[in-house]
Copies of this chain bind each other. A is one copy, B any other.
Amino acid sequence: WAIPSFSERARHWQRIKGTTIGTYAADLTDYDDVVAVLREFRPDAVIHFAEQPSAPFSMLNVATARETQVNNVVGTLNLIWAMRENCPDCHLVKLGTMGEYGTPNIDIEEGFITVNHKGRSDTLPYPKQPGSFYHLSKVHDSHNLIFAAKIWGLRVTDLNQGVVYGVQTEEMSASKLLRTSFHYDATFGTVLNRFCAQAVAGIPLTVYGEGHQTRGFLNIKDTIQCIDLTVKNPPQPGEFRVFNQFTEQFSVLELANLVKGTAAEKGIKVKVESIPNPRTEMERHHYNAVHTRLLDLGLKPHRLSDTLVASMLQEIMEAKAEIDEEVLLPKVNWRVDRTGMVEAEVAAAGGADR
């Protein structure tokens, strides 16, 4: 569907809501740009969503791996140095990912873990085992941010977000002029969006490997709610805190079967297919991640249910003619053939996150 420009959406917001959203076109990797925006806007909080967000893109080749890490790390470095020198009391809300943790064989805590070792004890940053150069870039950011909070007294919240699903927010549903992009492809889309698009297109839901990969998920409406709660409850100066931002855990196979069942109720018959996993990830593993801090601040989750999947399918059906089946297939393989040949492509799609 057509997406109005950022400034058009801001103007429309002003017309219907009466409040002004300032827009700047700036490059976070350009330090002078960042400083100029901070000096003019003088923010109380910065919500940093401006990173390269795709794991498959980061795994494509050396250039995209480098681009992902340099863009993400440099953008965040510029931002924290600019905040240090221009608005050191401002609250940085940084989008991280649950994928930073990987799949350890112990429960995942919110950013820190108390370790008892050889008769002593300390609370330390939770060990990270990310699964792509993209997820690694977020781990690098997190380490840089812990340090910036400690030495400069910055206030930082790192939102380790789960896999987002959903077509639009309430504001977008109420007004098409506020709509933004909907990603369902194998590179920038997420798994539930992709399964819904596959169902509407009448093609098999492609699960990577066994499909027992379990992750934390949340509705895009709850993303907005979490950001709002985070900004309204800032940390202390010098405090680096982590919120695990998701509401429910599902395996990829559970999601595929949920979409299949809901589609059937709407008269769409689809198959669930297993394809070779293009990613290097455990397909059977322990997964239990704490996520209480946003609930403690008042988060009221929109839980995934047949009703929600049904409404997603309905919304996507309105744009059925626009679905490009080509982009549903994964183009990037994590592995390398040890003879030196890179496997450039695999046949078909379904990892949990992007």
Contact = CB atoms under 8 A, between A and B. Distances in A.
Most buried by B among A120, A136, A147: A147
Contacts of A133: 77, 144, 147
Contacts of A106: 115-118, 120-122, 124
Interface stretch (A64-72, A243-251, A254-262, A311-319): A64-72
Given A136-B143, A139-B143, A126 B127 contact: yes
A31 interface: yes
A142 to B, nearest CB: 10
A183 to B, nearest CB: 24
A276 interface: no
A303 interface: no
A336 B128 CA distance: 29
Contact of A78 (B62, B81, B86, B136): B62
A151 interface: yes
Most buried by B among A113, A151, A237: A151
Contact of A74 (B66, B107, B116, B140): B66
A339 B36 CA distance: 19
A22 interface: no
A117 B113 contact: yes
Interface in A108-159: 113, 115-118, 120-122, 124-133, 136, 139-140, 143-144, 146-147, 150-153
A62 B84 CA distance: 10
A340 interface: yes
A70 B89 CA distance: 27
B130 A127 contact: no
A63 B122 CA distance: 34
Most buried by B among A73, A82, A335: A73
A343 to B, nearest CB: 12
A116 to B, nearest CB: 7
A280 interface: yes
B116 A116 contact: yes
A151 B343 CA distance: 13
A280 B151 contact: yes
Nearest to A339: B88
Interface string A318-354: 0000000000000000111010101000000000000
Ordered nearest first, which 5 A-B pairs have the shortest CB separation?
A62-B81, A124-B127, A105-B122, A106-B117, A151-B280
23 contacts: A62-B81, A77-B133, A84-B342, A86-B340, A88-B336, A88-B340, A89-B338, A104-B122, A104-B124, A105-B122, A106-B118, A106-B121, A106-B122, A113-B127, A116-B116, A128-B143, A129-B146, A130-B147, A133-B144, A136-B144, A139-B143, A152-B336, A153-B338
Given A106-B115, A151-B280, 17 more contacts: A31-B62, A62-B77, A65-B77, A85-B336, A88-B340, A89-B338, A104-B122, A105-B122, A106-B118, A113-B127, A125-B128, A136-B144, A139-B140, A139-B143, A140-B140, A152-B335, A152-B336
